[in-house]
Each structure stands twice: as C-alpha cells, then as structure tokens.
Structure 1
Amino acid sequence: MPSGNSDKTVLILGANSDVAKEAIVLYIEKGYRVIAASRSTDQLHRFIQDRAIPQEKVEICYFDAAAFETHAAFYRGLAVKPHIVVYAAGFLKDNLQALLDWEGSFQMMKVHYCGAVSILNIIATDASNKNLERIVGLSSLSGVRGRKSNFIYGSTKSAFTQYLAGLRQHLFGRGVAVNVIVAGYIRSKMTAGLNLPESLMLEPAFIAKSVADPGNSFTIVPGFKWKIIYHILRLLPEQLVAKLP
C-alpha cells in the first residue's frame, strides 16, 4: 500500500453506482481514505461488508445529488476536506418515456448536471481547502453527439462534460486537475434490461481503473473500441448521425 496516500481523502459522490463501488476498492488499495456519499447508504454498508473492506478506511454518509439546498451543509459537515473528488451519480430514463414524462427528464438533469454543478461549485470555490488536487467526473459517450434514441440523457451528460471542461480551466491556476471519464456501455444495474451489444459492454471494474488513475488528459475514453467510436462520432457528418439509432 502506498504510504504517500495514507493521509489523503477521496470523496465519491454517487458512491453506490457500480463503477463508484469498484473505485472505492481501488482507492483504498492505493492507500487513500474514502468518504462514500450516496442516498443508498444501506447498500454501501452491505458492499463494504461483502468485499471485506476495512471499515476504518471508509466513511459512508448520505448525499442526494438532486437536493441542492442540502449541498452546502453536506460539504461543511465533512470531517476532512477531500484531496480528490469523484462525481459518479447517475439516473437513466428511457428516451421515449422521458419525452412524455417531464419529471423523468428533469431528474436526469438534476442528477447529471444541476446536482454536479451545485456541489462541485461549492467544492471548487472553497479557497480554504488546500488539500484539493483533482476532480473526476463520470460522463458518457451519449453526450458526444445528439442521437434520436437517447438525446435527453445524452444532453445532460454533454452539459456535464462541458462544465468540467470549463472547471478545468478555472482551476488550472490552483494546480487542481480535472478529468472526465467518457464511458461507453457499462454492465451495471442502470443498464440492466437494455438491449445493448455484448461485444461493446465494459465491466465496472475496468472503468473504475480510469477513475482511480486518470492521468493528465482531460478526456479519458476507456476501452480501445470505444476510443474508435468516440473519434468517429466526433467527426461524423450530421446527415450520417441522423441515421444512427
């Protein structure tokens, strides 16, 4: 275990996501202490127990990404201000259902974008936190180009990615790194039941490696197939994008 990280803390927001839980394991293996924040605290406690993670290495606390009015108090209540912050909160509504159900659309906006901006603004503007080294956001390739099958979900992820791009520039002078993980299809509880191509599915533990060790690039696309798809999507003419599902 790297002793150099033993006095450092990682705050994971939306820590009950499948990727976030694997990231908890990796950060602890790297020597960090983790604050795992989620609405699903009972499920996190079971995960920590099932994976035999030392309880003294993880603090589990309640956090609701969509309850903006609670974010300032949540951050003030942290016993230790974080060195690394990971935003991994997620919510998915079928695009057709989201078109007919404003509350479902709004929930995706609140969880993926509004909630992220709310809490990360608070963290990024805390000049008293000399610990802050890095902010990592879990986004999606769905946000690269608008497609008719998932443009509402994709628009929330696109907005989140653009926010992180600007935040990276804003924090550059303080030496705080900002990374965005632009992930493809992940085998998770959020995608369970969706008809997705098996050959493109990635495991949460694989994505978590990029979360725990993102490097210096702003955009990280895990998996060589998804790297190719990412670049094709960015360059594809609009008339061809319109033919995609």
Structure 2
Amino acid sequence: MQPSTAGQNKTVLILGANSDVAKETIRLYVDKGFHVIAASRSITTLEEFVTQQRIDHTKVSILYFDAEAFDTHAAFYESLSAKPNIVLYAAGYLKHNEEALLDFEGSFRMMKVHYAGAVSILNLVAMDKNNPHLERIIGLSSLSGVRGRKSNFIYGSTKSAFTQYLAGLRQYLFPRRIVVNVVVAGYIRSKMTKGLDLPESLMLEPSFIAKAVVNAGKNLIIVPGFKWKLIYQVLKAMPEKLVAKLP
C-alpha cells in the first residue's frame, strides 16, 4: 500500500506526545504523509517508540516540552523549524480524587497540565498571525469533565475548563477558518488508568481514540465509541439529584 499524500508538506505539532493516544497519532499522521513534531518531557521514550514502531525518522522531530514550564513556551514555539498546520494538545496527569483533596500540589499539577499549560501554549499558536498554515487545533479531553461527580471532580474540573476554553477558542478562530475540535474520551486503556478498577466493557484502546483524533471533522465535540456517545448524552441530560447518586 502506498503511503497517503494527504499531509504532504504539512506539519503536525503534538504537545504531550508521550501519552498512549498521542504516540498512536504519531504513527497515523506519518502514514498520512505529515511531518510530526512530537513534543514531550520524555524524549528518550519517544525516540524508543519511533524506533520500535519502525516509523520513518525523517518524518518525526522530537523536542522537549514541559506543559508546566509556562515561561519556556514562547521560546519553544518560536524555535519550531516549521509552524504547524495542525496542533494536538494531549498532555495529561492524574491524581486520584481522595489524594488530590489532601494534596494541593497534586491538584495544582492537574490544573497546570490540563488547563493553564494548554492555554499558555495554545494562545501562542492561535495568536500567531504570521502562520497562515494553521488549519486545526485539537484537544484531548475527557467525559470526566461533562458533569461534576464526587469520585473525580478535581480531575474532571480541569478537563471541563480545558473543554470550555477550546469551545471559546473555536468561536474566536472561526473568522480565520481554523477548526477547533475537542475529543471527549471515555475510559482509555493506558498507563494513566493502569491499576484502576474500571469496567472492561467500556475500555477503549489508544489506537481507537487516535483514529478519532486524526480523522477529526468539523464538529466541536467528538466522542469516540457508540457506548460513550450514549453515556455523554445521558450525563448531559441527567438531573442533579441523579448525578449525586453516581460514584
């Protein structure tokens, strides 16, 4: 099979590229002909992934990026060899709710990784009027941010803030015909969820989520998986007194 030329001469910037979903998107974007800038604190891990997956090294640039180091974001963006056509923000961090309630540093880190860091770097991307190539910004969010639930409301609140930021950014960038998508994912089989007691029937593979990211259309909210689409709609419509009974 010949590689796709859909992304020929186009660049994708993946922020938080060491997440399980993000690594799968690297493969898919390269297969579509894109050049991928994979940015993460885990440079060695990404290099090993590219080698193990036999991805063409000439199609992937690996850079250091720390979502929490806000003061480095401007220099990072300016240093890019090519300004991106597509940007994916996939950085994530999870502190369990009971631990987060007792450890503000853990709560604060989730706020920085999921929201403040995203706003910091994506504002730079969005406001770069000298980049005429930008066509899409995608954020990897979570169904945990749809409604506040007692089992994960701190993590969920950071994802909710991220989703609302992207919704407003979409409206702001509409006159420039730049599409903004939010991939609202359910339970993903990943290193972040390893060890959690989650229903097997609802688990989704990172590769499945990655396909939804890479094939994102024009809708703001993208919920991968039929079961999760139903859950998303139910959560949105559920009365508060019923939400209160959820775990």
Normalised to the residue count of structure 1, the TM-score between the two structures is: 0.99
Q: Where does residue 93 of structure 1 map in the other structure?
A: 95
Counterpart selection for 1:43 from 42, 45, 53: 45
Q: Residue 126 of structure 1 aligns with which residue? A: 128
Instruction: Give the Cα separation in 2 of the matches to 1:95 and 1:41.
Output: 29
Counterpart secondary structure, 2:129: coil
TM superposition shift of 1:109? 0.2
Structure 1 segment 176-195 matched on structure 2, within 5 A: 176-195=178-197
How much is the aligned-residue C-alpha RMSD, in angstroms? 0.5
1:2: Cα distance to partner? 2.8
**For 1:5, what is the secondary structure of its paired residue?**
coil
Q: How many residues align?
A: 245
Secondary structure (helix, strand or coil) at the match of 2:184 reads strand
User: Tell me, which stretches of 5 or more residues in structure 2 are unaligned?
Assistant: none
Residues 88-113 of structure 1 deviation map (CA, whole Å, 9 limit, x = unaligned) = 00000000000000000000000000
> 1:193 is matched by which residue type in structure 2?
G
Cross-structure match for 1:83: 85
What amino acid is aligned across from residue 217 of structure 1 in structure 2? N
SS at 2:39 equivalent: strand
Tell me the residue number matched to 2:208. Answer: 206
Alignment partner of 1:66 is 2:68: yes
What's the CA shift string for 1:156-180, capped at 9, x where partnerless?
0000000000000000000100000
5+ residue gaps, structure 1, are: none
How much identity, in percent, do the aligned residues show? 69
Does the 8 A contact of 2:97 with 2:152 survive in 1? yes
- CA offset at residue 5 of structure 1? 1.8
Offset of residue 117 of structure 1: 0.2
Distance, in Å, in 1 between the alignment partners of 2:92 and 2:28 is 20
| SS across alignment from 1:194 | coil
Equivalents in 2 of 1:213, 1:37: separation in Å? 21
Could you list the runs of 4 or more consecutive aligned residues of structure 1 that deviate by over 6 angstroms after TM superposition? none
TM-score (norm 2): 0.99
The whole-number CA distance in structure 2 between the counterparts of 1:149 and 1:2 is: 43
